[in-house]
Structure 1
Amino acid sequence: MFAGHFGLAAGVRAKSPEVPLWALMVATQLLDVAFVPLLLTGVETMDDTQHGDGYGELIIHADYSHSLLGALVLSVLAGLAARWLWGKRASYILAGVAFSHWILDLVVHRSDMPLLPGNWGDLPLLGLGAWKYEGLAIGLELLLLVVGFTMYFRSALKKAGGTRKKAAILSSAVLGMMLGLALLTDVASLF
């Protein structure tokens, strides 16, 4: 669902022009940004022994960064940073975009997402498992990309006037290529 998160950020940008696109893109990946150092230090892990290492096959033990409480804390931190930089409305938007990562992951992950960091209390792990059905998962991700890109493109054209229309089309084309590349690398399990 790596690429799908970016599609959501593009769509949000269409409705929230006061928040920079780069900030929305980082916010939508904030849980994964937190996951990387935890993975590198061995605090969180990925297991390819059960299903393989292709698209959606890894079991991800992101017991801190992708726990419900961890996602809420990271989202609040993103919101606080946004409030300081861009104001109150931006803080709610960025916090929501950051938390959307957990919601989207809940749809695709197998049951590997804890409620509390480190799975304190040994509560049931969550995940609806769309990754078990590759076509469904890719379709959901593609839908997020297409809808998000379409919203972004329409918004960019609407806001552009006269000579700026070409710039809006060019910037949208670049974003579209980046979203497409993100999907290809995601599905091909290149990252």
Structure 2
Amino acid sequence: MIAGHFGLAAAVKGREPQVPLWALMLATVWLDILFVPLFLLGAETITVPEGEAAGYGHAIIHADYTHSLLGALLLSALFGWLAARRWGKRAGWILGAVSFSHWLLDLVVHRADMPWLPANWGDLPRLGLGLWRSPVASAVVEAALVALGAWLYWRAVQTLPSQAGRGRLVAALIAIGGLGTLALDVSGVAG
């Protein structure tokens, strides 16, 4: 869903031009960035169920801190607070919401492996709608998010008065398209 997250960042950039695109893209993957050190420390894990092939959508991700509902809310609030200190209150709210959108998009694609509370405290039923079980369907959803985001961004930049602004648009669209293609390729869907 990395490509889809970046597509959402482009869509928000189209509506909120004052928020830096790089900050929006960082916000969309903030939870995954924090997952990495916890994964390396063994606090969060990835397993493949016995009898299934490793690959796109087959893993069960035990991101019990970064991808729990409460954990995602708290980490997104932290991101928004840090952003507000740099770019103001409005940008902070936007970036905090974009950060939390990661959890919402993951809810659609993940198997039921996302807990309500950090460390799955209370052993509540886990969340996830499991779109990853259909790699083609999840790739279509991601591609749609990237296309929609790029289109909304393109539309917004058409109002820029200068050629320099349009040049930045082309560079950003190339970056979004390249990152989206790379994300799909790494996940094993495109290649």
| TM-score normalised by length of structure 1 | 0.92
Structure 2, unmatched stretches of 5+, are none
Deviation at 1:162, TM superposition (A): 4.4
Task: Confirm or deny: 8 A CA contact 1:109 1:128 kept in the other structure.
Answer: yes
Task: Confirm or deny: 8 A CA contact 2:114 2:127 kept in the other structure.
Answer: yes
Q: Deviations over 1:81-124 (max 9, x none)?
A: 11101111101100100000000000000000000001000000
Deviation at 1:189, TM superposition (A): 9.2
Alignment of 1:12-51 (within 5 A): 12-50=12-50, 51=52
Match of 1:151 in 2: 152
Q: Which moved more, 1:62-71 or 1:148-157?
A: 148-157
| Structure 2 SS opposite 1:187 | coil
Deviation at 1:166, TM superposition (A): 4.3
Q: 1:65 to 1:189 in 2, by over 3 A?
A: farther
Runs of 4+ in 1 over 6 A off after TM superposition: none
Structure 1, unmatched stretches of 5+, are none
1:106 alignment partner AA: L
Task: Confirm or deny: 8 A CA contact 1:111 1:128 kept in the other structure.
Answer: yes
Q: Whole-Å Cα distance in 1 between the matches of residues 91 and 54 of structure 2? A: 37
Q: Whole-Å Cα distance in 1 between the matches of residues 125 and 59 of structure 2? A: 19
Task: Confirm or deny: 8 A CA contact 2:135 2:189 kept in the other structure.
Answer: no
Q: Whole-Å Cα distance in 1 between the matches of residues 190 and 114 of structure 2? A: 21
Tell me whether 1:175 sits opposite 2:171 in the alignment: no
Match of 1:11 in 2: 11
Q: Which moved more, 1:134-143 or 1:38-47?
A: 134-143
Task: Confirm or deny: 8 A CA contact 2:4 2:146 kept in the other structure.
Answer: yes
| Structure 2 SS opposite 1:159 | coil
2:47 alignment partner AA: D
Task: Confirm or deny: 8 A CA contact 1:157 1:169 kept in the other structure.
Answer: no
Q: Deviations over 1:27-57 (max 9, x none)?
A: 1001101100000000000002443321111
2:131 alignment partner AA: A
1:48 alignment partner AA: V
Q: 1:32 to 1:82 in 2, by over 3 A?
A: same
Q: Which moved more, 1:155-164 or 1:144-153?
A: 155-164
| Structure 1 SS opposite 2:55 | coil
Q: 1:162 to 1:41 in 2, by over 3 A?
A: closer
1:148 alignment partner AA: G
Q: Whole-Å Cα distance in 2 between the matches of residues 78 and 110 of structure 1? A: 26
2:48 alignment partner AA: D
Deviation at 1:161, TM superposition (A): 2.6
Alignment of 1:42-121 (within 5 A): 42-50=42-50, 51-121=52-122
Q: Whole-Å Cα distance in 2 between the matches of residues 78 and 88 of structure 1? A: 12
| Structure 1 SS opposite 2:158 | helix
Task: Confirm or deny: 8 A CA contact 2:2 2:180 kept in the other structure.
Answer: no
Q: Deviations over 1:11-41 (max 9, x none)?
A: 1111111111111111100110110000000
